[in-house]
Amino acid sequence: MVILMLRFVLRFLLPLAFLSVAALTALAQPQDTEQRITALMQQMTLEEKIGQLNILSGETQATGPVTFGGDHATEIRAGRTGSMLNVVGVNSTRQYQQLAMQSRLKIPLLFGQDVIHGYLTTFPIPLAEAASWDLPAIQRSARVAATEAASAGIHWTFAPMVDIARDPRWGRVMEGAGEDTYLGSRIAEARVHGFQGAKLGDLDAIMACAKHFAAYGAAVGGRDYNSVDMSERQLLETYLPPFKAAADAGAATFMNSFNDLNGVPATGNKHLQRDILKGSWGFSGFVVSDWGSMGEMVSHGYVKDEKAAAKASITAGSDMDMESRVYSKHLAALVNEGQVSMAQVDDAVRRVLRKKFELGLFDDPFRFADPAREKATLGKLEFRQAAREMAAKSIVLLKSDGKTLPLSPKLKTIAFIGPMVKPIKGNRGGWAVSVPGYDTDSQIVSQWQGVAERAQANGTKVLYAKGAEMMGFDRSGFAEAVRVARQADVVVVSVGESWDWSAEAKSRSDISLPGVQEELVKALHATGKPLVVLLNAGRPMVFPWIADHVSNLAYTWWLGSEAGHAMADVLWGDHNPSARLPISFPRSVGQIPVYYNHYNTGRPAVDGKQENFKSGYIDSPNAPRFAFGHGLSYTKFAYSGLKLSQTKLHAGDVLSVSLQVSNTGARAGDEVVQLYLRDKVASVVRPVKELKDFQRVHLAPGERKTLSFQVDREKLSFFNDQLQWGAEPGDFDLMVGAASDDIRLVGEFELLD
């Protein structure tokens, strides 16, 4: 009893005695951050420390199941929450920050928000941006999002999502960079650099959050929140590198994930968070749980109650509790009972406070929340321009007959048909922020507006018919659509899935084009008019008839604020498409998961060759409908002159690869040249090809350029049969091409030692 009382005095009363105005003022002086944190933590009670480990959702928008029934103001004034999410705009963030300034230690709040693809100016969904394979453009998009969000009082975005995803049924494929580890890693870096700018503390920089750690994208059956079961090799080799890249790029925070990984929920996963992230990677930021994921460990059957969930979470290295409230309810007791060490709590608190110091919030808690800056920053013209360019760069030309597109300026009449033509919201995609004071829909250029404006500039008349709804089985609009199509020189059809059909908890078991839209396209195709189909979606869809019969196809995803303009830019060739698929498009759901970097197997099937006892389907080719890396241009490129600096490599040698790319068509354009490797024999089997580098090159008509790539030992390395990273001597194939299924040049070399 005496000991318990002594503990109580030490933890709760002694710090109060030391607190003085002088001490707080001293904290505001520029000192070494670690000393300032130490000084502050000496003032903090255990309850106040735990307060820093809580993030509470605001009163207006919820991005998960609401469980908090208390009074936000009371929580903040009492120092029981150190961060908030879903508080948007300068006015709101200022109000809540003022409440924090009424707490005993005046520790500023952090405001986090899902700024996933823009704040007010909405950029294409992340998967669409990934299709650009344009790292500077992707970085700029995150930079714009950060600049806008920071001006509105936001300190922290829950992005980038760097989950590798090979299953388009999973609704969250829209938030990531697709199926490939190399591309995903480069994009993760670009996004982190974009959000965090030159350095944290700058007024246009917000903290990035690499999520969802880890392997969330490998949910069984593509069903959101589902379990993940995978080998350690696959985890290390395929799923973790984008996280490592984000950490190395300086990501301030990580978010863990809902799924269990090989039976252990990620939130309670010590191996992931302590051994790998904070251990071998040396991550010094903090880890926030996903919404309710600490408490959900009870449902997983991993812990018996919420108290045990709190213990498992803090022990595993989850620093901040998002909306489970298990830390506020149980952590103090766990510490007092000696079940959780004070050192573990202190470490978590220190990590959170460090970021608040780095952001400069102790010097001025309101420094990001300036109404004048917010007003002057949101929706700037240059941001709109960046969004338009990014949107055009995200459109993938899947098929082209070489004559219909780009549309001729001489066309007299085009018909613009389909359920996606007029809606506005449809272009924003999931995870768009509702910014107070702005009618966010009015920020969007609809497809109709963009196309009609552009057509008018050429004196081309645009006719419209809806044809069908996105969903449902009503075919009554077909006749009108066909009538309109017959009057046009070219028919452009815009179809797709609804904006809220991909995102969190939006998994689909059938990813075909919904409703009767494919039938509508068939009816329009039957008119014999030149036909262009635009496909809008947050994931790869399955559209077999269209893929086989329509000669001009563009995948537009969801393009954001400048959707209509960007579509017009591509349709008329003001922008020559250069995007490439960041994820394979299956022929059917039955092929899923289908990805380019698979193993060969002992009985590889050759597509198109029907042989028994091979690793194939009896009713489908193995190849996807559109392969990873695929995407066309309005011009043509020829590859030649592959040269390898050497064909035998010693340890320490770097192989130089050079080749020429020429633009053999009549228009200027960008080619995305992709370099793949295959390690032919190794202690564990290696993929048939793996992307190891790529370059974007701009070429005027007739122009030829020499490109060079460097292949170092890292690019030849993998996790061997002992799970050790390294390269093994032996033969390698080197392939350079325009897509994973369009290899133009091949070479070979041998690693000697």
Binding site for ligand NOJ (CB under 6 A): 63-64, 85, 114, 158, 211, 290-291, 504
Residue with tokens 């978590």: 348
Q: Nearest to residue 257, comparing CAs of 248, 247, 268, 246?
A: 268
Q: How far is the CB of 290 from ligand NOJ (least distance, A)?
A: 5
Q: How far is the CB of 259 from ligand NOJ (least distance, A)?
A: 10
Q: Rounded distance, CA 193 to CA 586, Å?
A: 32
* Token representation of residue 280: 């071998």
Q: How far is the CB of 63 from ligand NOJ (least distance, A)?
A: 3
DSSP code string of 260-302: EETTEEGGG-HIIIIIIIIIIT---SEEEPPTTTTTHHHHHTS
Nearer to ligand NOJ, 152 or 451 (CB): 152
Nearer to ligand NOJ, 63 or 336 (CB): 63
Q: What is the 3-state secondary structure (H, E, C) of 93-156?
A: HHHHHHHHCCCCCCCCCEEEECCCCECCCECCCHHHHHHCCCHHHHHHHHHHHHHHHHHCCCCE
Pairing of strands 110-113, 718-719: unpaired
Nearer to ligand NOJ, 321 or 504 (CB): 504
Residue with tokens 């901040």: 320
Give the long-range contacts of residues 619-625, CB within 8 A, separation 24 or more.
Answer: 620/587, 620/588, 620/590, 620/591, 621/587, 622/591, 622/594, 623/741, 624/584, 624/585, 624/586, 624/587, 624/591, 624/594, 624/596, 625/542, 625/544, 625/547, 625/585, 625/586, 625/587
Nearer to ligand NOJ, 292 or 564 (CB): 292
Q: How far is the CB of 370 from ligand NOJ (least distance, A)?
A: 25
Q: Rounded distance, CA 355 to CA 284, Å?
A: 10
Q: Rounded distance, CA 116 to CA 126, Å?
A: 7
Q: Name the 3-class secondary structure at 5.
A: helix
Q: Nearest to residue 745, comparing CAs of 731, 735, 730, 733?
A: 735
* Token representation of residue 737: 């091409």
Computed from CA positions of residues 349, 351, 352, 356, in that sequence, does the dihedral angle turn out positive or negative? positive
Nearer to ligand NOJ, 85 or 135 (CB): 85
Query: If you ran DSSP here, which 8-state letter would residue 462 be given?
Result: E
* Host H or E run for residue 244: helix 241-248
Q: How far is the CB of 84 from ligand NOJ (least distance, A)?
A: 11
Which residue in the list 163, 290, 319, 679 is annotated as catalytic?
Answer: 290
Query: If you ran DSSP here, which 8-state letter would residue 9 be given?
Result: I
Q: How far is the CB of 172 from ligand NOJ (least distance, A)?
A: 8
Residue with tokens 């070979």: 748
Nearest-CB residue to ligand NOJ? 63
Q: How far is the CB of 114 from ligand NOJ (least distance, A)?
A: 5
Nearer to ligand NOJ, 114 or 670 (CB): 114
* Token representation of residue 19: 């607190």
Q: Rounded distance, CA 383 to CA 463, Å?
A: 31
- With a CB cutoff of 8 Å and minimum separation 6, the contacts of 284 are 351, 354
Q: How far is the CB of 291 from ligand NOJ (least distance, A)?
A: 4
Nearer to ligand NOJ, 188 or 581 (CB): 188
Nearer to ligand NOJ, 293 or 663 (CB): 293
Q: Rounded distance, CA 710 to CA 714, Å?
A: 11
Q: Rounded distance, CA 194 to CA 608, Å?
A: 44
| Half-sphere exposure for 433 (CA within 13 Å, toward CB) | 31
Q: Nearest to residue 164, comparing CAs of 244, 223, 117, 218?
A: 218
Q: Rounded distance, CA 530 to CA 227, Å?
A: 46
Whether residue 229 lies in the annotated active site: no
Q: How far is CA 385 from CA 189, 192, 331, 379, 382, in A?
A: 23, 21, 49, 10, 5
CA torsion 26→29→32→33, rounded to 10°? 80
Nearer to ligand NOJ, 211 or 575 (CB): 211
**Helix 135-151 and helix 181-196, axial crossing angle in degrees, nearest 10:** 40
Nearer to ligand NOJ, 435 or 727 (CB): 435
Q: How far is the CB of 288 from ligand NOJ (least distance, A)?
A: 9
Q: How far is the CB of 214 from ligand NOJ (least distance, A)?
A: 13
Q: How far is the CB of 76 from ligand NOJ (least distance, A)?
A: 19
Nearer to ligand NOJ, 306 or 323 (CB): 323
**Catalytic positions, written as ranges:** 290
